């Protein structure tokens, strides 16, 4: 009798364990490729409109010293990423100015 009781208890416990075991976690799949609008929105999360306006002012004054001012629309976000790596040191921007100029330019690209 006792044996049967233990057995039933055991099977009840194992049944509970099976039922309570976590369901295979569903992987939340993110879209592999972000749209341009998505990338712009991501940058804008970290900057206010005033930051972007300041970025424009810095760009207008510091990026027109050696050549005519280049418009954000003239290059894609990817192209700008590479260009800015070269131009930010040329313009001798400090870290804060660089991040503002980057944000202003990248959020005004068309692709
Ligand atoms: C010290 C001078 C100097 C300053 C300051 C400067 N640039 Fe330039 N820029 C150049 C020269 C020289 C070139 C052409 C050679 C090259 O592409 O590296 C150039 C080219 C460019 C180009 C064309 C790149 C291409 O691949 O066609 C862009 C866009 C540009 N600069 C943006 C900027 C921006 C934005 C800033 C401000 C952050 C800036 N520049 C500041 C000297 C400067």
Using the structure block, give the residue that is written with the tokens 């075991």.
Answer: 21
Q: Are 100 and 54 in contact (CB under 8 A)?
A: yes
CA of 31 to the centre of ligand 1 (A): 34
Q: Based on the number of CB atoms within 10 Å of its own CB, is 43 exposed (0-12), middle (13-18) or buried (19 or more)?
A: middle
Lookup: tokens for 63: 């990026």
CA of 91 to the centre of ligand 1 (A): 9
Per-residue pLDDT averaged across 54-72, rounded?
98
CA of 101 to the centre of ligand 1 (A): 13
Domain ranges of the chain: 35-111
Q: For a substitution probing ligand 1, which of 90, 96, 102, 108 has the most ligand atoms within 8 Å of its CB?
A: 90
Using the structure block, give the residue that is written with the tokens 């509970």.
Answer: 16
Q: Based on the number of CB atoms within 10 Å of its own CB, is 108 exposed (0-12), middle (13-18) or buried (19 or more)?
A: middle
Asked whether the whole model's pTM tops 0.85, one would answer no
What pLDDT does residue 7 have?
53
- For residue 34, what are the contacts with CB-CB under 8 A and spacing of at least 6? 42
pLDDT of 85 over the 70 cut: yes
Binning pLDDT at 50, 70 and 90, where does residue 27 land?
Answer: confident
Q: Does residue 96 have its Cβ closer than 6 Å to ligand 1?
A: no
Q: Does residue 86 have its Cβ closer than 6 Å to ligand 1?
A: yes
Per-residue pLDDT averaged across 12-32, rounded?
61
What gap in Å lies between CA 98 and CA 71, rounded to an integer? 16
pLDDT of 37 over the 70 cut: yes
């Amino acid at each position: 009798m006792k044996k049967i009781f233990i057995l039933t208890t055991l099977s009840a416990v194992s049944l509970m364990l099976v039922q309570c075991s976590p369901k295979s976690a569903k992987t939340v799949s993110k879209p592999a490729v972000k749209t341009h609008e998505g990338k712009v929105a991501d940058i804008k999360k970290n900057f206010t409109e005033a930051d972007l306006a300041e970025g424009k002012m810095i760009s207008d004054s510091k990026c027109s010293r050696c050549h005519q001012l280049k418009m954000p629309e003239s290059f894609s976000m990817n192209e700008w990423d590479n260009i800015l790596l070269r131009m930010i040191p040329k313009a001798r921007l400090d870290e804060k100015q660089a991040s503002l100029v980057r944000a202003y330019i990248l959020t005004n690209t068309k692709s």
